[in-house]
Amino acid sequence: MRTGLVILVMLALGGCAGGAGFGRSGGIATYDDLKAAQEACAAKGGTLKLQKNGDVQYLDDYACEKKK
């Protein structure tokens, strides 16, 4: 019973990781995900940039910044 509950919780949390904003690779910054994020950002009038102290491997560490 307890094992089943643990598995259910892990599956629920795993579903959150693949949500919107994490791209198709579970948050890893692949070429295709970065390209799609850059295009979406450019459509809003900005550029995609790595945040301060960000890790280039993770899509979540990039932000769309408005052009000045």
Classify the C-alpha dihedral 48-50-56-57 as positive or negative.
negative
Q: How far apart are CA 67 and CA 61, in angstroms?
A: 19
Element (H, E) at 48: strand 46-50
Task: Report the helix count and the strand count for the chain, using DSSP H and E.
Answer: 2, 2
Q: Which stretches of the chain drop beneath a pLDDT of 70?
A: 1-23
Q: Considering its fold, how many domains does the chain have in total?
A: 1
Domain ranges, residue 20 = 2-66
pLDDT at 2: 61
- Which structure tokens are listed for 12? 């629920």
